[in-house]
Amino acid sequence: MSPDRVSRLVACLENKLDAPGILVGDAVSDGYAADATARGVRPPAVLRPRNTADVSAILSAANGFHQPVVVQGGRTGLSGASRPLSGEVSLSLERMSGVESIDIAAQAMIVGAGTPLQVVQQAADDAGLLFGVDIGSRGTATVGGNIGTNAGGIRVLRYGMYRAQVMGLEAVLADGTILSSLKGLPKDNSGYDLNPLFIGTEGTIGVVTRACLKLHPKPRIERNAFVALPSLKAAQELLAKLRVELSGLLSAFEAIFPNVYEGTVAHMGIRPPVETGASMYAMVEIQGQSPEQDNERFETALAAALEEGLAIDVVLSNSLREFNGLWAIRDGINDYLFGLGEMAGYDISVPLSRMQEFLDRAAHGVAEIDPDAVSFIFGHLGDGNLHYCVKTAHEKRIAEAVFSGIAAVGGGVSAEHGIGTDKVRYLRYARSEAEIATMRRLKEAFDPNSILNRGRVFEASAIAL
Amino acid sequence: MSPDRVSRLVACLENKLDAPGILVGDAVSDGYAADATARGVRPPAVLRPRNTADVSAILSAANGFHQPVVVQGGRTGLSGASRPLSGEVSLSLERMSGVESIDIAAQAMIVGAGTPLQVVQQAADDAGLLFGVDIGSRGTATVGGNIGTNAGGIRVLRYGMYRAQVMGLEAVLADGTILSSLKGLPKDNSGYDLNPLFIGTEGTIGVVTRACLKLHPKPRIERNAFVALPSLKAAQELLAKLRVELSGLLSAFEAIFPNVYEGTVAHMGIRPPVETGASMYAMVEIQGQSPEQDNERFETALAAALEEGLAIDVVLSNSLREFNGLWAIRDGINDYLFGLGEMAGYDISVPLSRMQEFLDRAAHGVAEIDPDAVSFIFGHLGDGNLHYCVKTAHEKRIAEAVFSGIAAVGGGVSAEHGIGTDKVRYLRYARSEAEIATMRRLKEAFDPNSILNRGRVFEASAIAL
C-alpha cells in the first residue's frame, strides 16, 4: 500500500476530472469495497470518469505511477474480479451510463459501459427488439462488467454468450491508448478484430467504455413447459431432438435434479406442476415470431417426446400467468438453496457426452470426502452448464474433488462466473500450463506494469508485485 | 534471401519430419508459388507436417533461425496471405486433412486444419447436420485457411462468419508452443478464450492445426425467391422486415444491381425470372425444419412485400430445379463479369444506414477519375457486404476513391477476403493508427522475430526486416 502514490495520482487527476469524478477518504462508501459475494478492502480513492477521455487520462496517470486499479461496474460479480484488493484504487464506470443510439433496421445499439443490463433490455424492448442475454442481477450488473466476464444466463442456447452480442467496442488500454471500433459491421475482415481482447478477460487487458450490441427480433410468442423425465440420458436425448425439431424456436432447456425440484416446490408451498418421483426434470422454453405455427411445433415435439418415452409427464403453460409460474420454480431454486444454510457452489461446464461420467466421478469423490454431504444439481443443460451445489463442512476438499472430475472429462471450472480472484487456484484443472502462460503473455503485452485487475484470472507476475 | 539459412533449417528438420515432409528444389511444384489471384515466388522449401508435433518442431526450428514462413492451406485466398514472398519457406498443412470425430448430439466436429471445406460440409451432411459456411472455393479451401481469414460467404446472415463456427482450436505459436483447446464447450469462462488470437489474423499470430467446429440442424426445406424491387431503400426495408417475419428461417439475402442482373441473364442466355427494368433485384432464401409451416411463412411474407409495394415482382422456386436455377443466376455473376475483361473489384462492408450515401460518394468519386468507368455492384446485402466492381483503366486511383467513400461512412475495406499483402496499403481507410499499432503489438508479443506470414495485414516492423 502506498498512500503517497495514491495522493500523487489524485493530485495529478484533479485538473483533468470534474469534482464528482474523484472520491477519497470518507467519501468512499462501503459499497465500493464489496462484490456480490464478499467484502474486500475499502479503496483509498474511487475514480469516476464521465467519458472515454477521462478513462484514458486516469489509466495513463495510473500507469505512470504503477498504481494498481480495480475496475468496477455494478459489482455483482461472483468471483471477486471487482472486489478491491489492498493497494488498489477503484475505477468505477457508473457515470458512463446510457443508451446512445439504436438502429432498428441493423438491430444494433450503442451504449455506455456503465449502463445496467436492464436498461439495455428495456431500450431494446421499447424499440420492438430483444437483447439476447438475461441474468438475475440485471438491475445492477452493467454492460462493461457483462463484457468483461462474458456473461451467460438462461438463453445462451438460443442467442449465445455475451461475446456473441458484441458487434464492436470502445476500450482503453493500460497506457491510456483509446481503441474505438463501434461501426457495428456484421462482416468485416479489415485487419485483426481487437474486440476479443476485452471480452471475458475480466478487465485485465483494458477497460471497456462503450459497446455496440447486437439485438434480435422481439418474440411474438413465448411459451414454456415443465417436463418430468425418466433419466438424465432421456433429458439429453430430448434436448438433442428439440434442438432439431424446434430449431429457431428453442430458447431455454433447464435441467433440475429431483431433490432440487422437490425441495423448491415444497419451499414455495405450491402444487408441483408435474408429479414428483421422476428421475429428472426440465423446463423448456420457446420464443418465436409465428404464434400459431410455433405453438403447433412446440406441442407436436413434446407430444412426440411423451410417445417415445423420452418424457413421462409434460405440462405446457397456457397463459402468461402459467408461463411465469413455471419460470418461478426455476427462479425459486436459489431461494430454496440459500435457505439451507452455507453451501459450496460450483459453476461448471461439462461436455454433454461425458456428463454422466462426470456426475459419477464427482458423486464418488464427494462421498469419499464427506459421506454426509448432500448435492443439489441444476442448470443450463442446453449449454452443458451445471450449477453443482454441495452442503458440506469440507468445502476446500470437496472443491478439489469436483474440479478433479471436471479435469478428467475435459470440462470448465467456471462456465459463467469467470475466475476473478476466487478461482485462480482452480484454473489449472481446466487449462494447460501453456495456455496459462499464453494468457500471461497477452496480459504483459498490453499491461506491462500490471495495473489492471492485478491478480485476477491468474496469479500476478512476480515482477509486478 | 538466405539459402544457407534454409539449408540449415532443412538439415535440422530432417530427423524430425518424415521424407514426404520436406520438399526442396525441383520437388517444389509451381502450385506452391501462387494463390488464387497471382503468382508469387517459388519457395526454396516446402515443409509438410503430419501432425501438430511436426508443426511445433518446424516453427521452433524456424524461429531459432529467424526464418520467415508462409503458411499455406488450399491457397485459394484472394489477398495474398498465402502467396510466398521472397525468402520464405512454405509450411503447408495439406497432409493434416481429415475429419477426426463428430458428436451429433453436441452438434460438433473435430477436424484437421488441412481438411477442405467441402469435406467438412459432406461429413456434416452425412451425420444429418449442416456446416454453416459455404464459399465458392469449397473444394480446395481448407479449414485452417478459412479460420485464418475468418471466411464468410452467403449464409453469414443466418449462421455468422467462420468465427461463429469455431468452438475450439489447436494452434502452434511461432516459438513452437502448442495450445490445445478442443473441448467444444459452448459455455466456458475458465480464463481467457485464446481462440480469437488465431481467427481472422491470417496466420500472423500462430498456425491452426486442428479445430472443433459447430454444426447446425440440417434443413428439411430450402426454398428461394427472386424479387424485383423499386429501389435500394425498398430492398433494405424488405430485409429488415424479413429478418423479423422470417426469424429463424432467413438464410440469404443477396442484392443484385440492375446492370449486373440484366448482363448475367443475357450472358447465360436464359429467360429472366423476373422482368428486367426494375431498380434493384434480390435473391432471398430460407432454410427450415417444418416444410409446411415454413413455406406458409415465406409465401405470406413475400405476398405482404408485394402488397406494401416493397417488391414489384416475386418468383418463388417450386422445385429443386427451380431452386438451383435461381441460385445459378447469383452464381453466374462472376462468370459474366470475368467475361468483361480485367476489372477492379472491392469487397467492402458498409453500414446499412449509410449505404446510399456510400454509393453516391463512390459513384461521384469514380466518375471524376474516369468518366468511362462502369460499376457492377452485387453482394450480401444482409451483411452490408457489397462486391463493388469497376471496369476502368485507372485501378489505383479508383481504389482510393472507393476506399475514401468507405472511410467517410465508417465501413470496412475487406468484408470477407482479408488484408493479406495486397490490401495492406488500404488498411488505414478502415482502422485507426492506434488500432494498427495494437495489432502490431499483438503480433510482436507472440511472434517477436516476425517469422509467420510477415508483411501480411500490416507492414512488417522495421526490426524484423
Q: What is the DSSP track for B302-365?
A: HHHHHHTTS-SEEEE--SHHHHHHHHHHHHHHHHHHHTT-S-EEEEEE--GGGHHHHHHHHHHH
What dihedral do alpha carbons B141, B317, B291, B297 form, nearest 10°?
110
Q: What is the DSSP annotation of A347-374? A: EEE--GGGHHHHHHHHHHHHHHH-TT-E
- By Cβ distance, the residue of A289, A412, A427 closest to B185 is A412
Q: What is the DSSP annotation of A253-313? A: EEEE-HHHHHHHHHHHT---SS-S--SEEEEEEEEES-HHHHHHHHHHHHHHHHHTTS-SE
Whether the CB-CB separation of A452 and A207 falls below 8 Å is answered with yes
| B190–A385 CB contact, under 8 Å | no
At B428, list the grid cell.
Answer: 488505414
Q: In A, residues 242-271, which contact B (CB 8 Å cutoff)?
A: 243-249
Whether the CB-CB separation of A283 and A317 falls below 8 Å is answered with no
- B-interface mutation test, from A147, A157, A192, most B Cβ less than 10 A away: A192
At A208, list the grid cell.
Answer: 471497456
Could you tell me which residues are beta bridge partners of residue A101?
A: A110
Q: What is the DSSP letter of B253?
A: E
- By Cβ distance, the residue of A179, A410, A434 closest to B177 is A434
Whether the CB-CB separation of B13 and B57 falls below 8 Å is answered with yes
Angle between helical axes of A52-65 and A3-13 (0-180°, round to 10): 140
CA B68 – CA B90 distance, rounded (Å): 9
At A441, list the grid cell.
Answer: 503473455
How far is residue A388 CA from its own chain's centroid?
16
| A189–B177 CB contact, under 8 Å | no
Could you tell me which residues are beta bridge partners of residue B283?
A: B226, B254
Look up cell 476502368; give the residue.
B392
CA B49 – CA B207 distance, rounded (Å): 12
What dihedral do alpha carbons B16, B20, B26, B32 form, nearest 10°?
-100
Whether the CB-CB separation of A362 and A401 falls below 8 Å is answered with yes
One-letter amino acid for residue B318 of the chain: N
Host H or E run for residue B41: none
CA B143 – CA B167 distance, rounded (Å): 13
Burial class (CB in 10 A: 0-12, 13-18, 19+), B254: buried
Measured between CA atoms, the residue of chain B closest to residue A430 is B190
pLDDT in tens, chain A (465 residues): 566 999 999 999 999 999 999 999 999 999 999 998 999 999 999 999 999 999 999 999 999 999 999 999 999 999 999 999 999 999 999 999 999 999 999 999 999 999 999 999 999 999 999 999 999 999 999 999 999 999 998 899 999 999 999 999 999 999 999 999 999 999 999 999 999 999 999 999 999 999 999 999 999 999 999 999 999 999 999 999 999 999 999 999 999 999 999 999 999 999 999 999 999 999 999 999 999 999 999 999 999 999 999 999 999 999 999 999 999 999 999 999 999 998 999 999 999 999 999 999 999 999 999 999 999 999 999 899 999 999 999 999 999 999 999 999 999 999 999 999 999 999 999 999 999 999 999 999 999 999 999 999 999 876 554
Measured between CA atoms, the residue of chain A closest to residue B351 is A185
CA B253 – CA B235 distance, rounded (Å): 9
d(CA A191, nearest CA chain B) in Å:
6
- A-interface mutation test, from B52, B59, B178, B190, most A Cβ less than 10 A away: B190
Tally: H helices and E strands in chain B: 12, 18
Closest listed residue to residue B416, CA positions, set B13, B47, B145: B145
Q: Does A353 touch chain B (CB under 8 A)?
A: yes
Whether the CB-CB separation of A343 and A389 falls below 8 Å is answered with yes
Angle between helical axes of B258-268 and B320-338 (0-180°, round to 10): 100
A120: CB partners within 8 A, 6+ apart: A99, A109, A111, A131, A143, A213
Residues of chain B with pLDDT under 70: 1-3, 462-465
> Could you give the domains of chain A?
1-218+434-465 (3.30.465.10), 221-332 (3.30.70.2190), 344-429 (3.30.70.2740)
What's the pLDDT at B462? 64
CA A16 – CA B258 distance, rounded (Å): 55
What's the pLDDT at A461? 75
Whether the CB-CB separation of B411 and A414 falls below 8 Å is answered with no
| A179–B434 CB contact, under 8 Å | yes
CA B349 – CA A187 distance, rounded (Å): 7
Look up cell 427450415; give the residue.
B288
| B244–A289 CB contact, under 8 Å | yes
At A279, list the grid cell.
Answer: 428421475
Query: What 3-state class would DSSP assign to B270?
Result: coil
Please report, for residues A359, A437, B279, the alpha-carbon distance to residue A337 in angstroms, rounded to integers and kept in the order given: 20, 37, 63
Please report, for residues A259, A388, B317, the alpha-carbon distance to residue A399 in angstroms, rounded to integers and kept in the order given: 21, 10, 58
CA B453 – CA B81 distance, rounded (Å): 7
Q: Does B216 touch chain A (CB under 8 A)?
A: yes
One-letter amino acid for residue A182 of the chain: L
At B194, list the grid cell.
Answer: 485464446
Host H or E run for residue A389: strand A385-391
Host H or E run for residue A210: strand A206-214
B350 interaction partners in chain A (CB closer than 8 Å): 185
A439: CB partners within 8 A, 6+ apart: A431, A457, A458, B191, B192, B194
CA A206 – CA B438 distance, rounded (Å): 12
- The ipTM of this complex is 0.96
Q: In B, residues 164-193, which contact A (CB 8 Å cutoff)?
A: 164, 173, 177-181, 183-193
The bridge status of strand A99-103 relative to strand A108-112 is antiparallel
One-letter amino acid for residue A261 of the chain: Y
The order of strands in the sheet holding A45-47 is A22-24, A45-47, A89-92, A69-72
Closest listed residue to residue A398, CA positions, set A373, A425, A359, A366: A366
How big is the A-B interface in CB pairs under 8 Å?
249
CA A293 – CA A73 distance, rounded (Å): 42
What dihedral do alpha carbons B425, B431, B435, B441 form, nearest 10°?
-30
User: For every residue of A166-189, which 3-state class applies, written as one string?
Assistant: EEEEEEEECCCCEEEECCCCCCCC
d(CA A128, nearest CA chain B) in Å:
10
Closest listed residue to residue A70, CA positions, set A362, A462, A331, A460: A460
What's the pLDDT at B188? 96
Q: Does A433 touch chain B (CB under 8 A)?
A: no
What's the pLDDT at A2? 60
Look up cell 516446402; give the residue.
B46
B352: CB partners within 8 A, 6+ apart: A103, A105, A106, B236, B239, B384
A287 interaction partners in chain B (CB closer than 8 Å): none
What dihedral do alpha carbons A406, A409, A410, A411 form, nearest 10°?
-40
Query: What 3-state class would DSSP assign to A250?
Result: strand
What dihedral do alpha carbons B115, B117, B123, B124 form, nearest 10°?
130
Please report, for residues A29, A398, A412, the alpha-carbon distance to residue A79 in angstroms, rounded to integers and kept in the order given: 21, 18, 15
